[in-house]
Amino acid sequence: MITIFLLSCAGMIGVSEQRLIAGKKIAFERDKGNCLACHVIADGESPGNIGPVLSALSKRFNNKQLLRGQIWDATQFNPNTSMPPFGKNKIISEDEIDQLVDYLWSLE
């Protein structure tokens, strides 16, 4: 069973636990987001260390749209990034990106 703690931070009101669970699944699945290949995420197994730790993203990004843009195509912010353009290259769908953003935004 996956346990996710809902935060009362701005932008999380109205986000269902089911949606956060779906976002976490996308983040952890190797054939989807596979965020753990490069990032440390709380309770993730065998994380990578290429990218920054994925926590407190609401403090690093001014809003969820900026985080979404980073996931959609990180090259728009850094042309030399090693992060794949998940949306631009259709690695994950629009809805999956939105679920992933909701989940990542919820992390402390």
Enumerate domains of the chain plus CATH numbers. 25-106 (1.10.760.10)
**Residue found under tokens 């690695």:** 91
Residue 23 and residue 104: Cα distance in Å, rounded?
8
pTM higher than 0.95: no
29: tokens are 């699945």
State pLDDT tens for residues 29-74: 999 999 999 999 999 999 999 999 999 999 999 999 999 999 999 9
Residue 17 and residue 73: Cα distance in Å, rounded?
27
Whose CA is closest to 92, among 29, 2, 12?
29
105: tokens are 């935004």
State pLDDT tens for residues 91-103: 999 999 999 999 9
Residue 27 and residue 85: Cα distance in Å, rounded?
14
